[in-house]
Structure 1
Amino acid sequence: MPNPIGAGPVHQLLHALPIPSLPANIERWIPGSTPISTTKDVALAVSVYLALIFGGQDFMADRPAYRFKPLFMLHNFLLSAGSGLLLALMLEEIVPIIWKNGLFYAICSNDAWTPRMETYYIFNYFFKYWELFDTGFLVIKKKPLQFLHVFHHTATAVLCYTQLNGRTSVSWVVITLNLFVHVLMYYYYFMTAAGYKIWWKKYLTTLQITQFVIDLFTVYFATYSYFSAEYYPSFPTMGSCAGTEGAAIFGCALLTSYLFLFIAFYQRTYKKPAGAAAKQAAAKVAKKLQ
């Protein structure tokens, strides 16, 4: 179906640049033709990732850590800038749809899954595999691999795959919030790798948790609206929502797990036990009295 809303200025600028046009299997989601677009492909990619990072840990066990600082900085700078560009492209596509048709339409209508949005969803999906190199840097630096890191990176790639297959129009809410967080997160890693002291890491984690709260409110609303309209018409509902049932349920479940995992990470990282805080305060007082 042709897109009734014209392309935004960022999209037009990119098209004016002397860069090749996208192949059809990148511009559109074509299972079996688009890269990593079948369940077999995703399972293989995830298996290779897990084998490499855990095998890499064993390989690095009796070897010195490597930094690759310039490469690590470039990786983070490009991910921050790329996330910002993709965020701008998605916002200039979805904001006019919201303005013209309302928020519920943008979240739940099949027509909100525009051809350009599908292309942006595909690029966001590919970003998830690029982000797996985050773990590679941890391995060669001999940093510990936390469950949250490995699970989040792996599961998010699977999540994006399921939503592309399920064509859930609500995806843009989750993705735009995630891109906004990633602009800041990868900028933080870039600057700290450059040697700067960044004071707002704690608030970045708070922002991530806030992101999941908004995500869950939106996707649970969309899922409830769909099931009410389809199976329980006597329940209050604003109408059905685009996307397959399996993709909706999987998205709700996974995002719920993210919220609890990030809250637990925040508590472990930033909430000191009362006893430890008291000892630290007493040590400061004793130091001043010396």
Structure 2
Amino acid sequence: MLQEIQEFGSHAIEIYDYLMAGCDPRIKGYLLMQSPFPMTTILLCYLFFALYLGPRIMANRRPFQLKEAMIVYNFFLVALSLYIVYEFMMSGWATTYTWRCDIIDTSHSPQALRMVQVAWLFWFSKIIELMDTIFFVLRKKHSQITFLHIFHHSFMPWTWWWGASYAPGGIGSFHAMVNSSVHVVMYFYYGLSAAGPRFQKYLWWKKYMTAIQLTQFVLISLHATQYYFMDSCDYQFPVIIHLIWMYGTFFFVLFSNFWVQAYVKGKRLPKQNIKQCQNGTAVYTNGKTHENRNGINHGATMSNGSAHHENGSAHMGKMKKA
């Protein structure tokens, strides 16, 4: 038994050494890129906190407001995403790339090194975006922590670490540029949402956010699909193309399901409001309730023309007592 364990460990080390030997040496000097273990540890801690530790810590505590922190956070990501898009464009997509079979420039030219840098920056932005979920937990918006949310926030940084390590640039970086473009719009929306009710009149386009995300997955899949119809393409890591195609298709299905549940079946009304309606209590929310990923609920319960915000459990308790 001990010998088998030793043989397994020896084979595992050999596989690990083989995988690390294939990584691009130009990116190994960047933060957290020397080994996949620090990145994996961060993601495991994230999952542990989001799914277990955080909810237990907040179980008997009042939710944090964090309004100012969320405003700064969201608009910081707007600026970061804009910068990432610009760097991807200047590193090849708006200069030397053909938007078809674009291989990885493995040289040490300024433009090639610029692409390596923005590939790392895009990956690191996914680590920063784990704060989306932390805000949910601290504000006790547990309904927002769905399978789609958790899977997207953990799957993207884990897979992109390998993508940036092996293939920083070329045809495989298209989806990163598109994703960052979408995040400019997305986090701008969340920043306005966090800023307060006075900005509600500017947030009528929330429904189109999901449409924009669906469009990005269509573009990503179509761009990857053309690889299969080329007579020849010397892209160095075809497996990256296969994974990108599967990524675009899989997330298109997940976000399509969200679209159906949210906008076709109308399951966006909070359970509390549904119960109130069933008990004969009038609730006026201007026809809709606004929520965003940072946990801001912009629906207002109106009584005699004045808005009031109450804890869900306390409100239901008063109703029962009445």
TM-score range, shorter chain: 0.7 to 0.9
Partner Cα separation in structure 1 for residue 75 and residue 62 of structure 2? 26
If you compute each CA radius of gyration, which structure gives the higher value, 1 or 2?
A: 2
Paired residues of 2:78 and 2:187 also in contact (CA < 8 A):
yes
Deviation (angstroms), 1:133: 0.4
Paired residues of 2:172 and 2:240 also in contact (CA < 8 A):
no
Deviation (angstroms), 1:96: 1.4
Q: Given the alignment, which residue of 37, 40, 49 partners 1:40?
A: 37
- 2:248 — aligned with what? 255
Paired residues of 2:172 and 2:244 also in contact (CA < 8 A):
no
User: Which structure 1 residue ranges, 4+ long, deviate > 6 Å from structure 2?
Assistant: none
1:244/1:171 CA distance change after superposition, 3 Å: closer
1:97-116 pair list within 5 angstroms: 97-98=96-97, 102-104=98-100, 107-111=101-105, 114-116=112-114
Paired residues of 1:28 and 1:119 also in contact (CA < 8 A):
no
Paired residues of 2:148 and 2:254 also in contact (CA < 8 A):
yes
What 5-or-longer segments of structure 2 have no aligned partner? 1-24, 270-322
Paired residues of 2:102 and 2:235 also in contact (CA < 8 A):
yes
Deviation (angstroms), 1:71: 0.7
- 1:155 — aligned with what? 155
1:210-252 CA-partner distances (Å, limit 9, x unpaired): 0000101112323x25xxxxxxxxxxx3322423244333333
- 1:14 — aligned with what? none
Q: Given the alignment, which residue of 111, 123, 126 partners 1:125?
A: 123
The one-letter code sitting in structure 1 at the alignment partner of 2:226 is: F
- 1:23 — aligned with what? none
1:76-100 CA-partner distances (Å, limit 9, x unpaired): 01001111122122213321113xx
More helix by percentage: 1
Paired residues of 1:166 and 1:246 also in contact (CA < 8 A):
no
- 1:178 — aligned with what? 179
- 1:51 — aligned with what? 48
Partner Cα separation in structure 2 for residue 245 and residue 86 of structure 1? 24
Q: Given the alignment, which residue of 209, 216, 222 partners 2:214?
A: 209
1:35-70 CA-partner distances (Å, limit 9, x unpaired): 332232232121011012121012112211111111
- 2:16 — aligned with what? none
- Using the TM superposition, name which of 202-211 and 108-117 deviates more: 108-117
Paired residues of 2:220 and 2:244 also in contact (CA < 8 A):
no
Deviation (angstroms), 1:193: 0.7
The one-letter code sitting in structure 1 at the alignment partner of 2:161 is: Y
Partner Cα separation in structure 1 for residue 210 and residue 232 of structure 2? 35
The one-letter code sitting in structure 2 at the alignment partner of 1:170 is: I
- Overall identity of the aligned pairs, in %: 27
Partner Cα separation in structure 2 for residue 172 and residue 164 of structure 1? 9
What 5-or-longer segments of structure 1 have no aligned partner? 1-26, 226-236, 277-290
1:207/1:83 CA distance change after superposition, 3 Å: same
TM-score normalised over the length of structure 1: 0.73
Paired residues of 1:131 and 1:153 also in contact (CA < 8 A):
yes
Partner Cα separation in structure 2 for residue 186 and residue 110 of structure 1? 30
TM-score normalised over the length of structure 2: 0.66
Partner Cα separation in structure 1 for residue 191 and residue 27 of structure 2? 32
Paired residues of 1:159 and 1:251 also in contact (CA < 8 A):
no
